[in-house]
Amino acid sequence: MPYPFHVIKDFQYLFHIKCNLPWSFYHLSLCFSFALLADMFQYLLSFSQGHLSSLLEGTYSSLSRQALPHVNQLFSSLSLYLRGANVSVEASIHQFFNNLFPLVYTRLINPGLEGNMMMGSEMDDCLRMIRQDVNPFGPHPAVMAQELEGALGAGRQLGLALEEGLEVMNATEHVSMSKECVKGLVKMVYCSHCRGLTLIKPCVGYCLNVMRGCLASVSELDQPWRRYSSLLEQLTHAMAGHHSLELALLGVRGHVNEALLYAHLTGVRLFALSSPQVDKVCGLSTREPTSMQPMSPEVTTSNSTVTLSSLPEFLMYLQRYKSFFAALPEMLCEGENVVDDSTCWSGDEVVER
């Protein structure tokens, strides 16, 4: 016998009103949070990139024009990493400083070399190759890599987790009903009508039993969903706390500046120690570098405020809907759908509450 069409429609309507609306609201909130997170990542990256570019243009103008493409490449790699691409933060940062070293060596440490180069591209490749051995930037590249790797790692995991959660939610938007479910719904809602009891409502306990049977497959998602929500909470706290993505990205300018100052201020000693090695490997002249004065970077301030203020609101949504799947039967068996009088329908007869 085919299912009574009106029973299915009634249940679907009930499920939509009691379940899909809050679920859709949470789905919308999660979509909004995912989009907001992506926008926030991009804003922080753009702000940090502009902050670093202004440092190079204002303080290290002799190398800024050639260095800016490497800045663009660095932040492009970080953006790809945050979006889940197979990119190494540490390798991207070391590549950035490798590319920076030829410019620093020929424009800051020993400007006189520019007129004595054999072939620019060959020399640049050679200097990139020996950068980590010469260590012109001191500990600053490694410190920068460590900070960014921790902070961006938390942001990347949160973004990927949100994306995966959206896929799961899209797959569980519709509930299919078994024969047993439809039979139970007919008995609960309509069998009392056959006895002329059109105003009687199901007992709460009876309604809960029927709904739990209909939603048994959905309720199995409760524990995985709780674990998923807890993971999102942990990642959100990590991104806004110890591994603050905001502070790490805004600190890029400082790390690069400290690295350049280190190379500049120790240039004479560095040149004396590394010149034989550089000359042997790269075939450069060993002329003494021109005298250098320490450079004080121009500190620029910005009225822009970059915050993660939306994260507490997102955490509030997570807390509110952590028990969503377990609470579905109660949501469907509340209000006008169940009895509010002293008697109710048990499925077989009218009973006292």
Model confidence over 282-326: pLDDT tens digits?
765 444 444 444 444 443 434 444 445 556 666 676 677 778 778
Number of domains in the chain: 1
Tell me if 277 is assigned to some domain.
yes
CA 127 to chain centre: 36
347: which DSSP letter?
S
Please answer whether residues 229 and 200 qualify as being in contact, where contact means their C-beta atoms are separated by less than 8 angstroms: no
Tell me if 23 is assigned to some domain.
no
Whole-number percent of the chain with pLDDT over 90: 24
Measuring CA to CA, which residue among 191, 174, 170 is closest to residue 182? Answer: 191
Amino acid residing at 121? S
pLDDT per residue over 93-105, tens digit each? 999 999 999 899 8
Pairing relationship of beta strands 343-345 and 350-352 according to DSSP bridges: antiparallel
Alpha-carbon torsion (79, 247, 233, 175), positive or negative: negative
Per DSSP (E only), the strands in the chain are 343-345, 350-352
Question: Collapsing DSSP states into helix, strand and coil, what is residue 266?
Answer: coil
Please answer whether residues 10 and 189 qualify as being in contact, where contact means their C-beta atoms are separated by less than 8 angstroms: yes
Tell me if 201 is assigned to some domain.
no
pTM over 0.75: no
Give the whole-angstrom CA distance, residue 94 versus residue 141: 7
pLDDT per residue over 146-176, tens digit each? 999 988 988 888 888 877 777 666 666 555 6
Give the whole-angstrom CA distance, residue 312 versus residue 240: 9
Please answer whether residues 325 and 221 qualify as being in contact, where contact means their C-beta atoms are separated by less than 8 angstroms: yes
Q: Determine what percent of the chain falls in helix, strand and coil, rounding each to the nearest 5.
A: 75, 0, 25
Strand partners, 351: 344
Tell me if 308 is assigned to some domain.
no
Measuring CA to CA, which residue among 343, 326, 131, 153 is closest to residue 243? Answer: 153
Give the whole-angstrom CA distance, residue 279 versus residue 158: 48
Alpha helices in 215-295 (DSSP H): 216-219, 222-240, 245-250, 252-265, 267-282
pLDDT for residue 13: 47
Tell me if 145 is assigned to some domain.
yes
Please indicate whether residue 116 or residue 104 has the higher confidence score (pLDDT).
104
Tell me if 281 is assigned to some domain.
yes
Tell me if 63 is assigned to some domain.
yes
Whole-number percent of the chain with pLDDT over 70: 66
Tell me if 204 is assigned to some domain.
no
Structure tokens at 237: 């706290």
Structure tokens at 346: 């048990």
What range defines the domain where residue 159 resides?
35-175+220-301
